Structure 1
Amino acid sequence: MALNGTLVNQTPIKSNGDVFLQIFTYEPFHISNMCPHSIQGCDILDGEWGSIGSILFWKYHLDGSECVAKEVVEAADKEKKLVCFKVVDGTLLDLYKILLLTINVDTTGEQHLVTWTLAYEKLNETVADPNNLMEFCLSVTKDIDTYQCGI
């Protein structure tokens, strides 16, 4: 069983892809208003919103448990429409040695597609792949989309 892996999943959104990416890159503190059952807060500990090297602190619920994560912004590229976070502390590091979350938005005309990529290294072979985290990310995407569309 491999310790390293990558999960990729795409989901279409009805809201504007640029606005979606703007929220995750520069305004993640608003996400708790859009999906309060999943995300309870996002604070900046160091740097500026959307700046590479900035450190964010998230409070969230995953699988019925209260969790926290400290993340460093590894990449933020408006032209490529992506933002990447590296988890450097928190609940997820009880299972994973390395965890990178990348959000990429593809826009073609009125079509907007959000791609989540989770690159990880498990601490040992007994740790499951982070499929639950991917489902969480997709659920948050859906909640943000619903909020943005006013559905």
Structure 2
Amino acid sequence: MALHGFIGTQIELKSPADKFYKIFKGQAHLIPNVSSGHIKGVQVHEGDWETHGSVKIWNYHLGDEVGTFKEKVEYDDENKAATLTGLDGEMFKYYKSFKGIYQFAQKGNVSVANLTIHYEKRNADVEAPDRFVGLMVTLVRDLDAHFAKA
């Protein structure tokens, strides 16, 4: 069994791709207001909200687990992608490396989100991070519902 790999999904969205990327690029602090059932807070640890290389700490609730995810963010404006490279947090009990990618694209009247996690397990007994992809999906769907109401 491979210790490293990637897992992900693609979902269709009702709202424009630009709105999602704008939130991830400069307004991540608003996400707990929209997805409060899962994201309890986001704070800047180093840098600021929109600078490539800034470090943020996410506080999340996933099933029975309450945890933190300290990440260094990279932005790709051309592809509307935010890459969150894990630095510290509860998932590092199970994974040696953990990188989440949120990429948004506009295809005519439809937007899509490509949500991917690249990871390396600590050992073969660790499951793939399906539940964290589920958290990414929930967060993006919560944002889509919020944009639809506005």
Calculate the TM-score normalised by the size of structure 1: 0.96
CA–CA separation in structure 2 for the residues paired with 1:96 and 1:25? 26
What is the aligned partner in structure 2 of residue 127 from structure 1? 126
What is the aligned partner in structure 1 of residue 58 from structure 2? 58
Question: Does residue 1:4 correspond to 2:4, yes or no?
Answer: yes
Question: Does residue 1:90 correspond to 2:74, yes or no?
Answer: no
Unmatched 5+ stretches in structure 1: none
CA–CA separation in structure 1 for the residues paired with 2:5 and 2:142? 27
Q: Find the residue that maps to 2:51 and give its secondary structure.
A: coil
What is the aligned partner in structure 1 of residue 149 from structure 2? 150
CA RMSD, Structure 1 to Structure 2 (Å): 1.1
**1:17 Cα deviation after fit:** 0.9
What is the aligned partner in structure 2 of residue 71 from structure 1? 71
Moved more, 59-68 or 120-129: 59-68
Q: Find the residue that maps to 2:85 and give its secondary structure.
A: strand
**1:70 Cα deviation after fit:** 0.5
Q: Find the residue that maps to 2:70 and give its secondary structure.
A: strand
**1:64 Cα deviation after fit:** 2.2
Q: Deviations over 1:80-136 (max 9, x none)?
A: 111101010011111110001111111022110000110000001110000011111
CA–CA separation in structure 2 for the residues paired with 1:97 and 1:56? 19
CA–CA separation in structure 1 for the residues paired with 2:119 and 2:109? 33
CA–CA separation in structure 2 for the residues paired with 1:127 and 1:50? 34
What is the aligned partner in structure 2 of residue 20 from structure 1? 20
Q: Find the residue that maps to 1:149 and give its secondary structure.
A: helix
What is the aligned partner in structure 2 of residue 107 from structure 1? 106
Identical pairs, percent: 29
CA–CA separation in structure 1 for the residues paired with 2:93 and 2:37? 23
Unmatched 5+ stretches in structure 2: none
Moved over 4 A (4+): none
CA–CA separation in structure 2 for the residues paired with 1:47 and 1:59? 18
CA–CA separation in structure 2 for the residues paired with 1:62 and 1:113? 24
Calculate the TM-score normalised by the size of structure 2: 0.96
What is the aligned partner in structure 1 of residue 136 from structure 2? 137
